[in-house]
Amino acid sequence: MTGEKKAILLRPGFWFGVAFFITVVLSIIWATARLNDWLKDEQRLPVQKIMIAGQRHFIKDEDVARTVRKAQPGSFFELDVNKALAAVEAMPWVHKASVRKEWPSTLKVYLIEQVPVAHWNSDSLLNQQGNLFNGQMNEEQDQLPQLFGPGGSEQTALQGYRAMQQLLDNSQLKIEELQLSERFAWQIKLSNGIKLNIGREEFIDRVQRFVDVYPMLVKSDRAVDYVDLRYDTGLAVGWKQKSES
């Protein structure tokens, strides 16, 4: 060690500078740790407000807020937007959602609600795309048709329902119940109680045949029970007993 280096080490200012530098580094480490603890402290910076937007008929705002807080109970900074989004989209009536943070303590949730178009096998609902979801409707809201069919045939049944209902609209008739068998044969029950046995083939043409003869059927003094359309041409009519009409 040269004399010049020894002189530098013996200077009081040198050691003061070293001590000051170490103090600054330790202070930064301490401050960083304290800041990290502060940011993680739920009581200091919680999610104070959850704003919910989007048209909602079946989803309650308080249920959404409860779901978010249960899935992500930490502070605003700790909240994982992707996990909150997954929790919201797992709710029965939510079709799609978006979740984003807004400084300093607000979470914004935008919802697209499921639009139910039919019941499926008495225990589920179908949306507009023919996808299954679970949900409950009260009697005032529930005017949906009942669709039945084998698993995996939801979209086929819904497409058939829509095509047949479009034909029946011209006669102000509504499908109340539709059944698609394992062999993909169609049966429907109308809101006026008439049952149509349509079969597997050319079901659109067969429903059109019924629509064509319906004005003559309603002129009869007897009430129609069922119409069997499983013929290449023509149809068979079953009449209700007078005590049933």
Tell me the one-letter amino acid at 114: Q
The answer, yes or no, to whether residue 10 has pLDDT greater than 60, is no
Q: What's the pLDDT score for residue 9?
A: 47
Q: Which band of pLDDT confidence, cut at 50, 70 and 90, is reported for residue 18?
A: low
122 pLDDT higher than 60: yes
User: Are 106 and 167 found together in one domain?
Assistant: no
Is residue 206 in some structural domain?
A: yes
201 and 175, same structural domain?
Answer: yes
Contact (Cβ atoms closer than 8 angstroms) between residue 50 and residue 64: yes
User: Same structural domain for residues 97 and 152?
Assistant: no
Identify the pLDDT of residue 110: 97
Tell whether 126 and 154 lie within a shared domain: yes
Using the structure block, give the residue that is written with the tokens 């178009």: 117
CATH number at residue 226: 3.40.50.11690
Do 107 and 130 reside in the same domain of the chain? no
Starting at the edge strand found earlier in the chain, the sheet holding 146-148 runs 132-133, 124-127, 116-120, 146-148, 175-180, 186-190, 195-199, 224-228, 236-239
Q: How many domains does the chain have?
A: 2
Are 101 and 168 contained in the same domain? Answer: no
The range of the structural domain enclosing residue 94 comes to 49-113
Residue 33 to residue 40: CA distance in whole angstroms:
11
Let me know whether 142 and 233 are in one domain: yes
Q: What is the pLDDT of residue 115?
A: 94
Mean of pLDDT over the chain = 87
The answer to whether position 224 is within a domain reads: yes
* Strand 175-180 relative to strand 49-53, pairing: unpaired
Instruction: Kindly state whether residue 196 falls inside one of the protein's structural domains.
Output: yes
The answer, yes or no, to whether residue 12 has pLDDT greater than 70, is no
Q: Tell whether the model's pLDDT for residue 156 goes beyond 60.
A: yes
**Cis previous bond, 104, omega within 30:** yes
Please indicate, yes or no, whether residues 226 and 182 belong to a single structural domain of this protein.
yes
Q: Tell me the pLDDT tens digit for each residue of 36-51.
A: 766 555 556 777 899 9
Together in a domain, 133 and 184: yes
DSSP string for the chain? --HHHHHHHH-HHHHHHHHHHHHHHHHHHHHHHHHHHHHH-TTTS---EEEEES--SS--HHHHHHHHHHH--S-TTT--HHHHHHHHHTSTTEEEEEEEEETTTEEEEEEEE--EEEEETTTEEEETTS-EE-----TTT--PPEEE--TT-HHHHHHHHHHHHHHHHTTT--EEEEEE-TT--EEEEETTS-EEEEESS-HHHHHHHHHHHHHHHTTSSS-EEEEE--SSS--EEEEPPTTT-
Q: Which of 93, 113, 133 is the last residue of a domain?
A: 113
CA 185/CA 77 separation, integer angstroms: 57
At 187-214, the pLDDT tens digits run 999 999 999 999 999 999 999 999 999 9
Q: Which of 80, 97, 113 is the last residue of a domain?
A: 113
Alpha-carbon radius of gyration of the chain: 35
Residue 178 is predicted with a pLDDT of 98
On whether the CB atoms of residues 224 and 240 are closer than 8 A, the answer is yes
Do 53 and 133 have their domain in common?
no
94: domain CATH number? 3.10.20.310
Is the same domain home to 133 and 121? Answer: yes
Boundary residue ending a domain (113, 137, 166): 113
Tell me whether residue 17 is in a domain.
Answer: no
Q: Is residue 29 part of a domain?
A: no
pLDDT of residue 32: 78
Residue 28 domain flag = no
* C-beta neighbour count of 2 within 10 angstroms: 7
The per-residue pLDDT for range 63-120, each reduced to its tens digit, is 999 999 888 877 777 889 999 999 999 999 999 999 999 888 899 999 999 999 999 9
pLDDT tops 60 at residue 155:
yes
pLDDT at 91: 95
pLDDT, greater one: 142 or 190: 190
> Using one digit for the tens of pLDDT, what is the confidence trace for 21-76?
777 777 788 777 776 766 555 556 777 899 999 999 999 999 999 999 888 877 77
Q: Is 104 in the same domain as 69?
A: yes
Q: What is residue 245's predicted lDDT score, i.e. its pLDDT? A: 52
